[in-house]
Amino acid sequence: MTTTEVAPLPLGTGVDEAALTVRGLGKSYDGRAVLDGLDLDVRRGECFALLGPNGAGKTTTIEILEGVRRRDAGEVRVLGEDPARGRREWRARMGVVSQGEPAGQALSVREALDHFARYHALPRPTDELLAATGLEAKAGTRVSALSGGQRRRLAVALGVQGRPELVFLDEPTTGMDPVARRQFWELVRGLRADGTTVLLTTHYLDEAAELADRVGVIAEGRLVDVAPPAELGADLRRRATVSWLEGGARRQVVTERPADVLRDLLATTTRGELPGLTVTRPGLEDVYLQLVGAVPATAGGDPA
Ligand SMILES: Nc1ncnc2c1ncn2[C@@H]1O[C@H](COP(=O)(O)OP(=O)(O)OP(=O)(O)O)[C@@H](O)[C@H]1O
């Protein structure tokens, strides 16, 4: 299993490439450690997805990076600054889509967007935001009367309204229908094309695979692996499961050399046939489940 390298605090170096750098991040609630030596690097212009089970500490990490939650230990730089001392001008360079309710409940969607546009130097036009988030038909509806998925869309619109350099998206598509989710993916691709750095958390592995240049998996308070989605858990992916039927019972072998296993098996059969033969390798979900310790490391996966 690949583990994130623990470098000796190269903070302040390579600032041009790093949107954010985290070393040894620690956070406890009521004496219970949630983050315990987390290291993370996100490059400028990349889309990074933070994965992990419920309660793993994803929101805690993001809130520390946003400067709205205090850390107990570690070094953090976001857009060159320590979030614990982030100034207003620094905050203005970031967009935040948190898990909470969007502001402006008593306003219509259009009024809310127009209202918050005043806080940004160069806001995206309201009509552009309504179109990008599929909220045109709801422009006149009160925010408090929106459905859960529509509220998430508005939260996303507000989060990117100020053309942020770096946008934090905490479970942005939870509650969105499949059409809205795809619309959101387009929006994120557009942000990336403009050079915006995106850090998102999600429980949807297809979303991470679709959007992220790299994914990081949090478990036990640390990042246990960081890689492009197709390469996550490289060691685990090397193992294939060869399975076949023998005397009515299913047999299986987990191996890094499936071709060798197949050759040996075929050599022992009389008619050169192996009933029910499958060769499978772990897919992203299998690898993820193994990384977070939800299933043993030998579990099978998608057909190879
Ligand atoms: N303000 C708080 N006080 C006490 N415990 C907290 C507080 N905020 C979070 N926790 C606890 O810290 C742990 C991590 O929570 P966090 O919200 O960061 O996880 P998460 O990975 O974002 O989870 P989810 O996927 O469910 O959103 C959880 O066990 C949670 O109960």
Torsion of CA 12, 16, 21, 23, to 10 degrees: -40
Q: Is the pLDDT of residue 300 over 70?
A: no
Burial of 191: CB neighbours in 10 Å, binned 0-12, 13-18, 19+: buried
Probe target for ligand 1 pocket from 51, 58, 66, with the most ligand atoms within 8 Å of CB: 58
Q: What are the extents of the domains in the chain?
A: 42-67+84-216, 234-303
Q: Is the pLDDT of residue 15 over 70?
A: no
Tell me what the pLDDT averaged over the chain comes to: 88
Burial of 243: CB neighbours in 10 Å, binned 0-12, 13-18, 19+: middle
Supply φ then ψ for residue 43, to 5 degrees: -80, 155
Q: Is the pLDDT of residue 99 over 90?
A: no
Check residue 298 and give its pLDDT. 54
Check residue 12 and give its pLDDT. 45
What's the whole-number mean pLDDT along residues 261-283? Answer: 86
Determine which of 55-64, 136-145, 172-181 has the lowest per-residue pLDDT on average: 172-181
Could you tell me which residue, 255 or 296, shows the higher pLDDT? 255
54 lines ligand 1 (CB under 6 A): yes
Ligand 1 atom closest to 99 (CA): 27
Cβ neighbour number for residue 178 with a 10 Å cutoff = 8
Ligand 1 atom closest to 171 (CA): 27
What confidence tier does 297 reach under pLDDT thresholds 50, 70, 90?
Answer: low
296 lines ligand 1 (CB under 6 A): no
Check residue 296 and give its pLDDT. 66
Check residue 293 and give its pLDDT. 84
* pLDDT tens-digit map of 145-192: 998 888 988 999 999 999 999 999 999 888 888 988 898 898 899 888
> Measured in angstroms, how far is the CA atom of residue 60 from the centroid of ligand 1?
6
Q: Is the pLDDT of residue 14 over 60?
A: no
Ligand 1 atom closest to 62 (CA): 18
Check residue 10 and give its pLDDT. 45
Check residue 219 and give its pLDDT. 92
CA-proximal residue: ligand 1, atom 18 (nearest) = 57
CA distance 125 to 240: 51
What confidence tier does 100 reach under pLDDT thresholds 50, 70, 90?
Answer: confident
- Quick one: what percent of the chain has pLDDT higher than 70? 92
What's the whole-number mean pLDDT along residues 2-17? Answer: 46
> Measured in angstroms, how far is the CA atom of residue 35 from the centroid of ligand 1?
10
CA-proximal residue: ligand 1, atom 28 (nearest) = 55
Could you tell me which residue, 99 or 302, shows the higher pLDDT? 99
Q: Which CATH superfamily is domain 42-67+84-216 in?
A: P-loop containing nucleotide triphosphate hydrolases (3.40.50.300)
What confidence tier does 136 reach under pLDDT thresholds 50, 70, 90?
Answer: very high
Check residue 21 and give its pLDDT. 97
Which ipTM was obtained for this model?
0.97
What's the whole-number mean pLDDT along residues 73-99? Answer: 93
State the pTM of this model: 0.84
Could you tell me which residue, 5 or 43, shows the higher pLDDT? 43
CA distance 99 to 297: 32
- Quick one: what percent of the chain has pLDDT higher than 90? 62
